[in-house]
Amino acid sequence: MTLKRIVIASLALCASVGLAGRWALAQDAETERGLERYRQMMKEDPWSNPALLDADRGEALWATARGPKNATLETCDLGKGPGIVDGAFAELPRYFADADRVMDLETRLLWCMETVQGLKQADLVKRPHPAGGQPVKDLGAIATWVASKSSGALIAAGSGHPKEKEMTALGEALFTRRSGPFDFSCATCHADAGRRIRLQALPHLSEPAEAKKVVGEWPAYRVSSTHVMTMQHRLYDCYWQMRLPELEMGSDASVALIAYLADKARGGEIAAPSIKR
Amino acid sequence: MRHLIAFATTLLLANPAVAEDSSVRGKADAAVKAAFATAPPEWKSRLEQDETMAVCSANENAPPQALYEAIQKREAATVLYPSDGEFIGDWKKGEALAQSGYGLRFTDYPARRENGGNCYACHQLTRAEVSYGTLGPSLLGYGKARGNGPDEVKAVYAKIYNSNATAPCSLMPRFGHNKVLTPDQIKHLVALLMDPASPVNKAE
Domains recognised in chain B with CATH numbers:
36-204 (1.10.760.10)
Least Cα distance to B189 among A159, B33, B198, A275 occurs for B198
Which ipTM score applies to this complex?
0.89
Q: What is the pLDDT at residue B200?
A: 98
Residues of chain B falling short of pLDDT 70: 1-22, 203-204
d(CA B42, CA A104): 30
| Amino acid letter, A110 | L
Would strands A196-197 and A200-201 be described as parallel, antiparallel, or unpaired? Answer: antiparallel
- Predicted confidence (pLDDT) per residue in A204-219, tens digit: 999 999 999 999 999 9
d(CA B47, CA B39): 10
- Predicted confidence (pLDDT) per residue in A94-118, tens digit: 999 999 999 999 999 999 999 999 9
Any catalytic annotation for residue A189?
Answer: no
**Is the CB of A245 less than 8 angstroms away from the CB of B106?**
yes
Cα–Cα–Cα angle for B31, A252, B178, nearest 5°?
40
Mean pLDDT of chain A: 90
CB atoms within 10 A of CB B80: 12
To test the contact with chain A by mutation, choose from B57, B115, B182 the residue with the greatest count of A C-beta atoms within 10 A, namely B57
Q: What is the DSSP letter of A98?
A: T
Poorest-pLDDT segment among A15-24, A60-69, A226-235, B25-34 = A15-24
Residue pair A68/A119 in contact by the 8 Å Cβ criterion: yes
Q: What is the pLDDT at residue A26?
A: 65
Residue of A nearest to B33 (CA): A253
Q: What is the pLDDT at residue B4?
A: 46
Q: What is the pLDDT at residue B37?
A: 84
- Give the minimum alpha-carbon distance from B160 to chain A in angstroms, rounded to a whole number: 12
Q: Is the pLDDT of residue A23 over 80?
A: no
pLDDT band at A74 (very low <50, low <70, confident <90, very high): very high
Q: Who wins on pLDDT, A252 or B5?
A: A252
**Is the CB of B49 less than 8 angstroms away from the CB of A177?**
yes
Q: Is the pLDDT of residue A221 over 70?
A: yes
Q: What is the pLDDT at residue A35?
A: 72
**Is the CB of B135 less than 8 angstroms away from the CB of A180?**
no
Which burial class, exposed, middle or buried, applies to A209 when counting CB atoms under 10 A from its CB (0-12, 13-18, 19+)?
exposed
Residues of chain A with Cβ-Cβ distance to B120 below 8 Å are 198
- Is A26 strand, coil or helix? helix
Region for residue A217 given its phi and psi (left: phi exceeds 0; alpha: psi -120 to 50; beta: otherwise): alpha
d(CA B74, CA B54): 14
**Is the CB of A241 less than 8 angstroms away from the CB of B37?**
no
Q: Is the pLDDT of residue A36 over 70?
A: yes
d(CA A86, CA A147): 9
**Is the CB of A247 less than 8 angstroms away from the CB of B180?**
no
Alpha helices in chain B (DSSP H): 2-12, 16-35, 41-44, 51-58, 65-76, 91-99, 142-146, 150-161, 183-194, 199-202
Residue of A nearest to B179 (CA): A181
What are the residues facing A276 on neighbouring strands?
A: A222
What are the residues facing A71 on neighbouring strands?
A: A66
Q: Who wins on pLDDT, A20 or A192?
A: A192
Q: What is the pLDDT at residue B204?
A: 63
**Is the CB of B53 less than 8 angstroms away from the CB of A241?**
no
pLDDT band at A15 (very low <50, low <70, confident <90, very high): very low
- Give the minimum alpha-carbon distance from A152 to chain B in angstroms, rounded to a whole number: 32
How many Cα atoms occupy the beta-carbon half-sphere of A258 within 13 Å? Answer: 34
Partner residue opposite B27 with nearest CB, options A173, A199, A240:
A173
Q: Above pLDDT 70, what percent of chain A?
A: 90
- The rounded Cα B56 to chain-centroid distance in angstroms is 13
Partner residue opposite B133 with nearest CB, options A21, A182, A197:
A197
Least Cα distance to A123 among B185, B53, B134, B38 occurs for B38
